[in-house]
Structure formats: structure tokens, C-alpha cells
Structure 1
Amino acid sequence: MQITAETPFKASIVPLPLSSTPSSFSILPGNAPRTPLQNTLKKAITCVGIGLHSGAQVRMTLNPAPAGHGIVFERVDLTSSAPIAARYDNVVCTRLSTVIANSGTPEIRVATIEHLMAALHANGIDNARIEIDGPETPVLDGSAAEFDFLIQCAGTQILELPRAVIEVLRPVHVEEESGAFAELRPARSGFALAMSIDFSASVIGQQRHAMPLNLERFRQEVGFCRTFVERKEIEALQKMGLARGGSLHNAIVVEGETVLNPCGLRHPKEFVRHKLMDAVGDLYLAGHTLQAGFMGHKSGHTLNNKLLRALFASAENWRFVGSEESSRTELRATA
């Protein structure tokens, strides 16, 4: 099956009332993963679109992969390219997107992977081989919704190897001088996230959102929320070689009190919800979902990656929860 960026995409997305969002990291028992087994895609699926920053057209295929494989990208346009595991320690740049590469060939990169990683995370896809013929994933509509749609079309396949979850054992905190911070805290079960932002543009301003991570909440609350930029920043970004593929079709553009997109916002808090969705994707570069509570204030790709590096800097911060076989496989993979 092939889906191009020009294919009309329709989804019935009805956000939950704001009063239904949790005010703390309390996780209800029903939010735990439904199955202890790993998952992959049932069949391969392809999409074609442009890169948000490169502006280049790219073709990307999501392929099934065996148990213990993990999420791995392959640059099929370069014969000398080695597979790049989607892991925090392969992140080489976090300026406006999350970019991965192997340490031996840092010039061979795959950029802007966070929206796809968020959709894979929410759908419980542990293993996938992602073929891509350019330096950046397609931006599609600027959210994770169309990647989620691709995964739905491909279907999921349960594998025989049990899934391992990373349990956070003690608080881990990183921050910047600006007051921005990101933190992981221990939790009895599940994974929950809370995010707050504070922008000078009055149409954005101060916003916050919190939710436990499960597929239903992801789709209803954050998956459809698009990336955004202030109009005054666009020219500077393009001079740096970024945002060449951005448009009102794949990004929210704001100026002062105004949203310049003709159709407006998909949700009044689309800005903070997009930032939370980014965190869902960035934190999946741990290699597994987390049993933890995440809290971020003005956190972006850089702090999200620093947080994972801080988590794994000490074996006292975390442990695997799951089968011993699965844990040993992943420890070999990250050695």
C-alpha cells in the first residue's frame, strides 16, 4: 500500500474536555500495557512527502522487524549507509528537531524523527525497519496523526519475545539557565507526561497539559497537534537552511495575537499538546517505553535528550521490568 502526501487525510478526532485531564502523575491500573509481548507491523507501508527543514521530497517505508530488533532507520539512498538505531545515544543534533546518526558516520543522518517515533510509541510498536531515501522524514501534516494512520493501515503483529519496560527508580532532573527543565520520576505503573510552555507570542502564552500515555488518549489529545513557528523566525530559519519545506499546510504560523493559518487551530491548546507529543517521541529513544512520570517546563528536543542521557548515566536510576531474556537482548544491543 502506498500513501502519498497529496492523499486526502480525514480523521474523526474529538479532544476530551479539558477538565478530564489529570492534575498529577497518578496512573490508574487500567493504563498498564495490555500485553507483555513485543509488537511489530503486520505489513510494510510507504508514504511520500517533503521534509520540513530540507524541503526535499522523500520516500519512506515502514517495514516489519523481528523481536529484539528495535526501531532502526536505513538510508537506502546511500550505499555506504549502516542502519541507525533510534536511540538517545545516537542523537547528534536537537536544533528544532531530533536527528540521529551512527558515531562512525555522523554525516549520514535522519532528521525530524520525533513525530514518527511518537506514533510508534503510542501504538506499542517495539520493532520496525524504516527505509528512507533522504535525510529527513516527511513532515506530512506537521503532526503525528498521519503516521498513526499509516500504522493503522499496516496493522500490528504480536511477536513471541516478551516486552521489557524501563522503570525509573529515582528522580532524574535536567535544567537550563532560562528556567526550562525536564524531569523523570518513579511511578507505580504506566507512563504519564505533563508539559507547560511560556511563549512571548500572546496567541500562545502560557499553556499546560497532562495525560497518561495510551493509544486512545494519544489520538484524542495530542497526536493531531501540529508543529508551530512564529512568523518573525521563518526568514532567519531559512537563512540557516531550515524550514525550507514548511508551509501553512504542515505548520501553525503565529504572529502576535493571530494564527495565520486560514483554518485556525485544531485545539485551543494545540501548542502545548504538540510539545507533549514531541516528548512522547523523543523519550521513546530510550529504546523502550518508560514506567515513570515525565514533567517538562519549556522543554524541547535538547532537554528531552539530555534527560535520557542523565537517566542512563547511572545504573541506580533505572532497571528493566519484563522478561530476563528480553532485558539481556537489549543490554547486548546497547553495549
Structure 2
Amino acid sequence: MIYQRTLKESIRAVGVGLHSGDKVELTLSPAPADTGIVFRRADLADKPSFKVGPDLVNDTRLSSTLVKDGVRVATIEHLMSAFAGLGIDNVIVDVTASEMPIMDGSAAPFLYLIQQAGVKEQKPARKRYVRVKKPVEAVEGDKWVRFKPHEGYKISLTIEFKHPAFQKAAQTVELDFAETSYIKEVARARTFGFMHEVEYMRTNNLGQGGSMENAIVLDEYKVLNQEGLRFEDEFVRHKALDAIGDLYILGYPLIAAFEGFKSGHAMNNKLLRELLADPDNYEFVSFQHADDVPAAFHRYSPAAI
């Protein structure tokens, strides 16, 4: 049987919020079976908490932000992506600010934290998946995202930037997790931004903690980071990393194919809401034997971390 997973022990890290610039203490702790992924504002007197779900993503300006009763936890997508990549079902996430720490702009530092804490199976609680049963689509102008039925998990994404650095790199990525390692081929891809966006972000109190230590920065012609890119197509790989995190806000691994053109946090959330709007779109499934689990999850959520 395939069981739910949590952490073996708590682990703590300190960082800075990308948009707020605030110092943030982050603690990841084990949680009982069927808890889900719960964020808690440890800096507030009553420590308000909320379980992730698409309906709580109520701000998608440059990140996915949970908002409930005026309490916010922003920029959760990279940590959620790491949870998805390591198959974590249940965990308590304590933060001491309104935003997650950005770390190096990728999911890799969060993977490291989870691996250091260790992962354990929660017998006898069976792991649950959401299987997409029919095509579901969300469209906004020239942007679109869709789910298609698929016995596994794969992602196809295309971005479109008219910029010299992007013209040199592939702007489409296709990742079938039956053949692709999330840890090796996705997790290290960093977020990126343009110098000309800095003024806009500062005006809107965003990007206060951004630097070349936690993002790829581009001017009108090139990448400014001295070390260059981690992947030749790092830009679109990071968009895939974001999508994996955004979609895991559903709270369950998806058995589906995800496709997107110029997608982002808002579109990803819109697609989840479209999926849930009709119960005929999906079903919950569990597996009695490991051999019955689609091959994509043998790599995507490895049994041995």
C-alpha cells in the first residue's frame, strides 16, 4: 500500500521575504495523517492557521498568496513545489512574517531542509491522488492553461519574452515525470526579473528583498548574474517549478497532463478552481500496491529520500 508522508522531525531556517524584505523564521514540523499542508503565522498572538486550498489563494501579484480573514502568507509556491517533489502530504509550516523566505529563488533550499528533517510514511493512512477525468481549461486573452487525462504526471509549458537572453534559450519545456527527476532537473531553477520592473515593484511595495543572490536579473540585453544560468532553459524550467507548486495547493498529487501558454500564478489558480467547479472533472484515487502507482510518481515522489 502507498501511505501518506510527513517529516520525521522539525527543522528551522531563517531568510528574507522577496517582496516584503522582512526577516522570516521558517519552521517545518511533522503533522498527523490527513492534516494536509497547514500554514501558521507564528508571529501573531493567536497563531492563525489555514490549510492550503485553491479558494485561499486571493492574491497572485508575482506570487501565490494565501489570504484568510485579513491574514496573509505570501510566496508559498517554491516551498509547495518542494513538498510536491518529495511527496509530502502532511506538514505544519510556521512563519514569523507575512511572506515565505525566498532563499536562493528556487526550491532547492527547501528540498534540502526536508531531506535534513527526514521523511516518514504514516501507516496505515493511504495516500490519495486526484485523477483528472476529462479536459479542463482556463483562458484569459492569449494566455491559457489546461488539464488533460493522463495516467501519470507531465507538464508542457511555453513562455514568450521578446528579449535577447530568452531568444538564445528554449522557451518551451516538456517534463514527463516518468522519465524526469524533479530533484535534478527542476528544483534548482531560479525566479527571474528585469531591471525595468524594479521601479514598479518598489512603488507597489514588492521586490524589497530581491537581489542577485535570490533571482536571475536581466537588463535590456543580458543576464547580469556573474555565474550565469544553472540550466540553458532555466527561465521556463522555473515556470514549471512554479506551476508544480501552484497546482499542489490543491492538497493532493495530480494524475494528469498540465499544459500552459504564458501561464502564471493567477492562471494556475484559475485552472484549479475550474477543475473543482464540476465533480465530474475528477476523482480521488488510492493504490493498494506500489506497482499500481503511475510510473511518474516513482520518480516524482521517491520512496527513499
Structure 1 length-normalised TM = 0.83
Partner of 2:149: 186
Partner of 1:233: 197
Choose from 303, 328, 332 the match for 2:267.
303
Kindly report which structure 2 residues correspond to 1:144-163, keeping only aligned pairs within 5 A, or say none: 144-160=107-123, 161-163=125-127
- The answer to whether the 8 Å contact 1:123/1:215 transfers is no
- Measure, in 2, the Cα distance between the counterparts of 1:300 and 1:70: 24
Partner of 2:291: none
Q: How far did 1:119 drift?
A: 0.2
Q: Which amino acid aligns with 2:101?
A: P
Q: Which amino acid aligns with 2:92?
A: R
- The answer to whether the 8 Å contact 1:122/1:215 transfers is no
Q: Deviations over 1:115-157 (max 9, x none)?
A: 0000000100000001111001100000000000101101101
Q: How far did 1:277 drift?
A: 0.3
Choose from 76, 87, 97 the match for 1:124.
87
- The answer to whether the 8 Å contact 2:22/2:209 transfers is yes
Q: How far did 1:216 drift?
A: 6.3
Q: State the SS of the aligned residue for 1:287.
A: coil
Q: Deviations over 1:144-203 (max 9, x none)?
A: 0000010110110100200110000000001111x111100001x221111110012221
- The answer to whether the 8 Å contact 2:39/2:52 transfers is yes
Q: Which amino acid aligns with 1:154?
A: A
Partner of 2:39: 73
Choose from 48, 60, 77 the match for 1:82.
48
Partner of 1:293: 257
- Measure, in 1, the Cα distance between the counterparts of 2:177 and 2:248: 12
- Measure, in 1, the Cα distance between the counterparts of 2:265 and 2:195: 21
Q: How far did 1:323 drift?
A: 7.1
Partner of 2:245: 281
Q: Alpha carbon RMSD of aligned pairs, Å?
A: 1.5
Partner of 2:137: 173
Q: Which amino acid aligns with 2:166?
A: I
Q: Which amino acid aligns with 2:219?
A: E
- Measure, in 2, the Cα distance between the counterparts of 1:174 and 1:247: 33
Q: Deviations over 1:192-240 (max 9, x none)?
A: 1111100122212461111123796112211101000011111111110
- The answer to whether the 8 Å contact 1:92/1:99 transfers is yes
- Residue-pair matches, total: 285
- Identical amino acids, percent of aligned pairs: 42
- Measure, in 2, the Cα distance between the counterparts of 1:282 and 1:297: 15
Q: Which amino acid aligns with 1:90?
A: L
- The answer to whether the 8 Å contact 2:59/2:67 transfers is no
- Measure, in 1, the Cα distance between the counterparts of 2:282 and 2:274: 11
- The answer to whether the 8 Å contact 2:11/2:28 transfers is yes
After superposing on structure 2, the runs of 4+ consecutive aligned residues of structure 1 that deviate more than 2 Å are 212-216
Q: How far did 1:256 drift?
A: 2.6
Partner of 2:299: none
- The answer to whether the 8 Å contact 1:122/1:214 transfers is no
Q: How far did 1:80 drift?
A: 3.1
Q: State the SS of the aligned residue for 1:259.
A: coil
Q: Does 1:98 align with 2:64?
A: yes
Partner of 1:49: 15
Partner of 2:104: 141
Structure 2 length-normalised TM = 0.91
Q: How far did 1:255 drift?
A: 1.7
- The answer to whether the 8 Å contact 2:129/2:285 transfers is yes
Q: Does 1:319 align with 2:279?
A: no
Higher relative contact order (CA 8 A, sep 6+): 2
- Measure, in 1, the Cα distance between the counterparts of 2:178 and 2:99: 27
